[in-house]
Amino acid sequence: MRAGVFAEAARDVTKLPWEYLFDAFEKKAFPDIFDATWIASLILLIVLVILYNVRTRQLHAHRPFLDLYEWLLWTGLATFGLLLIMCLFKFSFILVLATIVTGLGTLVWIRFLKFPPELRAYEQRLARQRYLSRQRLTRPEATVRQKPSRRRRRR
């Protein structure tokens, strides 16, 4: 039984692997990955927009995090939108593959290489501000408003 499945699959592969790169990306030529690609692109696009809206409302006061999510949003919109267009208009598979690799690589670069130093610096700045405000309020006099001293003027 198993040998029959492999023999049937081997019959379907009639070209060399690099010859498939220049075929149109359509369901007939790529039945295994075509539907998965456009459905995943659509789902990831929707998830990305929802994630952006939720996280920017939660972190509205923290500029570096807003920048991170904006970069992720625009990169994801470009990548997944292009993939949907490429599936719809039957681009060459090499262009689809290049878009997937470039887009996902850019998303990984943004999240794990570009923004972590900025986020660490921002967190250190927040920690320093908390420490200074806590230290300033440890003295009891700091919470009491001082009356302005009245001096009589000499004439």
CB proximity list for 51: less than 8 A, separation 6 or greater: 69
Domain tally, the chain: 1
Q: What is the DSSP string of 41-85?
A: HHHHHHHHHHHHHHHHHHTTT-HHHHHHHHHHHHHHHHHHHHHHH
| pLDDT at residue 140 greater than cutoff 70 | no
* Domain-embedded: residue 135: no
* Domain-embedded: residue 131: no
Q: How confident is the model at residue 131 (pLDDT cuts 50, 70, 90)?
A: confident
Q: Name residue, tokens 């302005």.
A: 148
Q: Which domain holds residue 122?
A: 31-126
Q: Name residue, tokens 């500029």.
A: 63
* pLDDT of amino acid 71: 98
Please state, in angstroms and rounded to a whole number, the distance separating the CA atoms of residues 95 and 132: 54
* Domain-embedded: residue 75: yes
List, for residues 81-124, the tens digit of each pLDDT value: 999 999 999 999 999 999 999 999 999 999 999 999 999 999 99
The per-residue b/e assignment along 126-136, b for 16 or more CB within 10 angstroms, e otherwise, is eeeeeeeeeee
List, for residues 3-54, the tens digit of each pLDDT value: 555 555 555 678 898 999 999 999 999 999 999 999 999 999 999 999 999 9
* Domain-embedded: residue 35: yes
Contact status, residue 103 vs residue 48, Cβ threshold 8 Å: no
Please state, in angstroms and rounded to a whole number, the distance separating the CA atoms of residues 47 and 39: 12
* Domain-embedded: residue 150: no
Contact status, residue 35 vs residue 15, Cβ threshold 8 Å: no
* Domain-embedded: residue 72: yes
The mean per-residue pLDDT over the stretch 127-152 comes to 73
Please state, in angstroms and rounded to a whole number, the distance separating the CA atoms of residues 26 and 89: 9
* Domain-embedded: residue 122: yes
* Domain-embedded: residue 36: yes
List, for residues 40-73, the tens digit of each pLDDT value: 999 999 999 999 999 999 999 999 999 999 999 9
